[in-house]
């Protein structure tokens, strides 16, 4: 009798431990201030680290598209245009100069601002990296993008909509689309910090494109 009672208690303990363990793991995985944040991962591309959403690996057995067999390269726009900029010093060309310079809007109203990048040749764009101002001072004084809508080749509908983190680390945005002529970023929503300061401006430091040639 004692042996059966002991066995039963062990079984109940293991059963309860399973539930407690699952809850504990869930609490640990979603804990605040962790790095990288829950649902994110840090990846290394040619020695540069970026943060991105953890990819769904359920379709691992799908046949890879032909683009995956071509070399992945950093793709530079041939030009850009924005609905506004604070001055020539803060133009959209700062977004692909590999420096800590920034694009800034002309006012503290950021929503609906757009930036269009043009490319000389059609490309398959696999992902882009979005960089808020790295300088802590500039970051804390600026209005930061919260939601980014992305369109291409004069299409009006977003084919990518991305919620961005409020921090000054690099953020990975999957695109996986052919870009024939241009790509447009639209600020759909910004974070509330600094919007009441008439001197603050929407600011982005860098947008880096990684893709493959379509004509080769």
Question: Which pLDDT value is given to residue 164?
Answer: 96
Question: Which pLDDT value is given to residue 72?
Answer: 84
DSSP symbols for 110-154: -TT-EEEEE-SS-EEEEEEEEE---SHHHHHHSB-EEEEEEEETT
Q: 153-157 long-range CB contacts below 8 Å, 24 or more apart?
A: 153/179, 153/180, 153/181, 153/182, 154/181, 154/182
Question: Which pLDDT value is given to residue 71?
Answer: 72
- The residues of the chain scoring below 50 in pLDDT are 19-21, 24-25, 28, 59-68
Task: Give the C-alpha separation, 73 to 90, whole Å.
Answer: 27
Cα distance from N-terminal residue to C-terminal residue, the chain: 78
Q: How many CA within 13 A on the CB side of residue 72?
A: 11
Radius of gyration over every alpha carbon of the chain, rounded to an integer in angstroms: 23
Total-model pTM? 0.70
């Amino acid at each position: 009798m004692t042996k059966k009672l002991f066995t039963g208690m062990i079984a109940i303990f293991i059963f309860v431990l399973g539930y407690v363990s699952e809850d504990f793991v869930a609490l640990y995985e979603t804990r605040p201030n962790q790095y990288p944040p829950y649902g994110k991962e840090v990846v290394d591309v040619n020695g540069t680290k970026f943060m991105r959403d953890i990819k769904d690996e359920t379709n691992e057995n799908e046949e890879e598209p032909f683009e995956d067999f071509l070399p992945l390269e950093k793709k530079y726009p041939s030009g850009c245009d924005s609905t506004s900029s604070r001055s020539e010093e803060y133009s959209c060309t700062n977004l692909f100069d590999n420096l800590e310079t920034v694009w800034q809007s002309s006012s503290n109203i950021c929503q609906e601002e757009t930036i269009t990048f043009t490319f000389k040749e059609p490309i398959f764009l696999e992902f882009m990296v979005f960089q808020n101002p790295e300088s802590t001072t500039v970051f804390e004084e600026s209005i930061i993008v919260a939601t980014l809508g992305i369109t291409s080749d004069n299409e009006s509908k977003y084919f990518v909509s991305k919620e961005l983190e409020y921090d000054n680390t690099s953020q990975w945005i999957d695109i996986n689309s052919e870009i024939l002529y241009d790509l447009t970023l639209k600020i759909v929503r910004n974070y509330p910090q600094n919007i009441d300061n008439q001197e603050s401006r929407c600011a982005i430091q860098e947008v880096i494109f990684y893709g493959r040639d379509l004509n080769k």
